[in-house]
Amino acid sequence: MADIRAGRLDAAVIAENFGDMLPAFSANEARVAAERCLFCHDAPCVTACPTSIDIPLFIRQIAAANPIGAARTILDSNIMGAMCARVCPTENLCEGVCVREVSEGKAIEIGRLQRHATDAAFTAGRQFYKAGPPTGRHVAVVGAGPAGLACAHKLATLGHTVTVFEARDKAGGLNEFGIAAYKATNDVAQHEVEYILAVGNITIEYRKRLGRNITLAGLKRDHDAVFLGMGLGDTNDLGLGVEPEGVLDAVTYITALRQAPDKAALPVGRRVVVIGGGMTAIDIATQTKKLGADEVTIVYRRGKDQMSASPYEQDVAQTHGVTIRHWMRPVEVVAIGGNLSAVKLEYTGLDGGKLVGTGETVTLPCDQLFKAIGQSFVTADLADAGGQIAMSDGRIAVDAERRTSLAGIWAGGDCVAGGQDLTVTAVEDGKRAALSIDRVLRGAAVAAAE
C-alpha cells in the first residue's frame, strides 16, 4: 500500500535541509578566492560564458575590495547574474575551462564570486540602470521568464516601452518555478525581478496566455515588435497508458515545493522513483530526499556519461542519498486498487548505436513515480499568427539575432530550437533579440523620416 504523507521530517529539519547548499563568501573569503585568479588575457572563461561576462575584470574588482563595481561588470552582460551565480552549471561552462582547473584540478570559484558581487549590489540598493530616452515604440514580450525579462530590460534601457504578457500570476519563469528550492533561497528570484522592473517602462500583465486570451496576430497588430519567450508549455509522458494515483509530473511538484510556505506540508512517498537523466530529475530526486523519503532512485535509459545532468549535479544527488541506476527504462506502471505500487523496468543496451531493450526486467516498489523526461512546446499557441512560423525539431526556428521567419517577431529561451533549459542562455537570447529589435525599429524610424 502506498505510503505518501506530509510531515515526514520536523519543520526545523526541513528548513535546514533547504538552506543554502553553498553559503555566501565573507568579504575576506571572496578576496582570497579572487586572488587565485590569473587574470588571463584571452580568458577561456569569458568565451565559455554564454553572456560573455568579463570574468577576469569582475574578479579583479573583488580582489580590489570593489564588489559593487564587480556587480556592474556582471550585470552589464547578464542582468540575471544573481540567479545565474546560483544555478549556472559553472562546472560545464566558465569553471570547467578555468586555467586553474586545467593545471591544478581546482577552478576559481567564479559562481560564488559572482554571487558575492551581485548580492553586495542588491544589499546596498544600487540600481545601475534607467529607462532610455523614449523612442515612441511599443514592444510586446510573451513570458516573464529569463528570456522575456532580459529582453524587456534591455529594450527599456534603449528607450522602448515594453508590455510583458505572463500566463501565471507571478513573474520569474524557470527561476521562480523550476529551480530546486535549496539552490535559490531567500526569495532571490523575486528580488531580481524587482531589480529588473525598477528600470521603468516595463509593465507586466498577468494571467495572459498566448493561444487562450491573447493571440500572436493581435500582439503583432498592436505593437511595433513581438518577442516570444514563453518557454515550454507541456511535459512528456511515459507512454505507458493510464497513469495511476502516485505518478506525478516532476516540474509541477518542483513548482509546488518552490511556492509552498511550509515545505513540511508537501506529501512525499517513502519510496520514490524518478525517470529521467537531466537537471529536473536531479532536482526532484534530491528534494524528495530532503523532504524525508527513505529511498529515492533515479532511473535513466542510458549511461552516466549520456545524462544531461552534469557529473557535479549527479554527485550532489548521490551525496544526499539518491541512487542512480543506468541502462534501464520503464515498461509498465504497476497499480493496486488504482494506486501506484511499483514500476517495471527493462534493462537496455546498444545495438549498432541504437538503444534497445534486452528483455530482462526488474520491478521496483514505489509510492511515487516522477516523470522528468523533458518538456515540449505547444505549437497550438502560435495559431492565428498572421502567417506560419517556421519550426525546427518541434520548436520555433530562429536565426543568430533570434528573428523568426515572420517579420516583426523574435523568440528566445527554451521555446526556440536549440534551447538549453538554462537561465544563462535564455538571458543571452533575450538580450540579443532586444538589440536586434532596437536596430530594426530605429532603422524603420529613419526610413519613415526620409
Predicted local distance difference test score (pLDDT) of residue 445: 60
pLDDT above 90 (res 373) = yes
* Mean pLDDT score, 382-391: 76
Tell me where in the chain the CATH 3.50.50.60 domain(s) lie.
Answer: 4-9+236-374, 138-233+377-449
> What is the reported pLDDT for 52?
97
- Residue 212 pLDDT: 86
Q: Which three cell numbers stand for residue 147?
A: 528570456
According to the model, what pLDDT value does residue 420 have?
A: 83
Terminus-to-terminus CA distance in the chain, angstroms?
76
d(CA 229, CA 173): 10
Residue 419: pLDDT above 90? no
Give the C-alpha distances (Å, rounded to integers) separating 312 from 102, 282, 317. Answer: 16, 11, 9
- CATH superfamily of domain region 138-233+377-449: FAD/NAD(P)-binding domain (3.50.50.60)
For position 376, what pLDDT does the model report? Answer: 85
pLDDT tens per residue across span 257-282: 999 989 999 999 999 999 999 999 99
pLDDT at 239: 86
Asked whether the predicted pLDDT for residue 424 surpasses 70, the reply is: yes
CATH 1.10.1060.10 fits 35-124, yes or no: yes
The pLDDT assigned to 449 comes to 57
Is the CB of residue 46 less than 8 Å from the CB of residue 95?
no
Residues 6+ apart with CB under 8 A from 119: 24, 82
The percent of residues above 70 in pLDDT, for the chain, comes to: 97
Give the pLDDT confidence score for residue 20 in this predicted structure.
Answer: 87
Q: Which amino acid is at 26?
A: S
Q: Are strands 339-351 and 328-336 parallel, antiparallel or unpaired?
A: antiparallel
Q: Quick one: pLDDT at residue 384? A: 67
Asked if 165 and 138 count as a contact pair (C-beta separation under 8 A), the reply is no
Task: Give 244: exposed, middle or buried? Use CB within 10 Å, 0-12, 13-18, 19+.
Answer: middle
Mean pLDDT estimate for the chain = 93
Rounded to whole angstroms, the Cα distance separating 88 from 94 reads 10
Q: Give dist(CA 357, CA 363) in Å, integer.
A: 15
Identify the residue with better confidence: 322 or 386: 322
For domain 4-9+236-374, which CATH number applies: 3.40.50.300, 2.40.30.40, 1.10.10.60, 3.50.50.60? Answer: 3.50.50.60
Strand spans (E) along 300-380: 323-325, 328-336, 339-351, 354-365, 368-371, 375-376
* 197-212: average pLDDT: 95
pLDDT at site 3 = 87
Average pLDDT over residues 314-339: 95
pLDDT at 57 > cutoff 90: yes
pLDDT value of residue 21: 84
Residue 305, pLDDT above cutoff 80 = yes
Distance CA 383, CA 367 (A): 40
206 pLDDT higher than 90: yes
* Band (1; pLDDT cuts 50, 70, 90): low
Q: Are 177 and 169 in contact (CB under 8 A)?
A: no
Minimal CA–CA distance to 441: which of 145, 168, 179, 132? 132
pLDDT band at 238 (very low <50, low <70, confident <90, very high): confident
Return the pLDDT at 22. Answer: 83
Q: Where in the chain is the domain with CATH 1.10.1060.10?
A: 35-124
Mean pLDDT confidence for 437-441: 97
Q: What is the pLDDT of residues 124-157, one digit of tens each?
A: 999 999 999 999 999 999 999 999 999 999 999 9
Task: Specify the higher pLDDT residue, 97 or 240.
Answer: 97
Q: pLDDT tens digits, residue range 9-27? A: 998 999 999 998 888 999 9
pLDDT in tens, 68-83: 999 999 999 999 999 9
Q: Judging by beta carbons within 10 Å of its beta carbon (0-12, 13-18, 19+), is residue 26 exposed, middle or buried? A: exposed
437 has a pLDDT exceeding 60 = yes
pLDDT in tens, 354-367: 999 999 999 999 99
Separation of alpha carbons 280 and 136, rounded Å: 42
Strands (E), 117-237: 138-142, 161-166, 202-206, 225-228, 234-235
The pLDDT of residue 36 = 96
Q: What is the pLDDT of residue 446?
A: 57
Strands 375-376 and 234-235: antiparallel
Confidence band, pLDDT 50/70/90 cuts, at residue 377: confident
pLDDT above 90: percentage of residues in the chain? 83
Would you state the pLDDT for residue 417? 92
